[in-house]
Amino acid sequence: MKWLTMLSLSLVLIVAGLAIAEERRDDSAPDGLRPGGTLSQSLPAPPMAGEPRDAGREVLNYPEQPPVIPHGIRDYQIDTRANHCLTCHSREHAVQAGAPMVSVSHFRDRHQQVLAAVSPDRYFCTQCHVPQTDASPIVSNTFLNVDEVLGEMLRQQREGGGQ
């Protein structure tokens, strides 16, 4: 009789332990990428970011910046057989397509040797050039453009000079 009581007691304990563990496991989701909820909850996927903006060419944030792409690039294939970007941006097609030609830097290889065609270093355009969407940033950005950096330096110099 005694062992039966012991057995049922330990069973009760195990079940209670499991229930507590189950409750603990459902912690709130980590902050950041997910909009709230708990770890075990399945939330609907956030809506896809809008189509790339077609807002025209954008001002550069610093002189060496690869300009952002001011048009959609859906289905523009770039692989070893074809580069859709170059059907408009290459030297021979740019004028007719009304597109800016890839700049001279794209014809230099990594030894600064000038080539007749776009350098393999620059073949995969989207390594450096990206279209813009209306997605709201998940993490806020503290980037200052070159004018803001220079303005800040000038302000500090003036304050330093005043002492």
Give the whole-angstrom CA distance, residue 107 versus residue 93. 15
Q: Which is nearer to ligand HEC, 29 or 73 (CB)?
A: 73
For 5, residues 6+ apart whose C-beta sits below 8 A from its C-beta are none
CB of 68 to ligand HEC, least distance (A): 7
CB of 75 to ligand HEC, least distance (A): 10
Q: Which is nearer to ligand HEC, 61 or 123 (CB)?
A: 123
Indicate which single residue of 30, 47, 56, 160 sits in contact with ligand HEC (rule: CB under 6 A): 56
Residue type, 52: P
61 to each of 4, 28, 58, 80, 122, how far by Cα in Å?
77, 39, 9, 32, 21
Q: Which residues pair with 6 in a beta bridge?
A: none
Residue 64 token pair: 């060496």
* Total residues interacting with ligand HEC, rule: CB under 6 A: 34
Closest-CA residue to 67 (of 100, 95, 92, 116)? 100
Residue 36 binding ligand HEC, by CB under 6 A: no
Indicate which single residue of 13, 97, 153, 154 sits in contact with ligand HEC (rule: CB under 6 A): 97
Q: Give the HSE-up count for residue 58: Cα atoms under 13 Å, Cβ half-sphere.
A: 18
Q: Which is nearer to ligand HEC, 29 or 67 (CB)?
A: 67
Q: Which residues bind ligand HEC (CB under 6 A)?
A: 56-57, 64, 66-67, 69-71, 73, 76, 83-89, 97-100, 102-103, 105-106, 118, 122-129
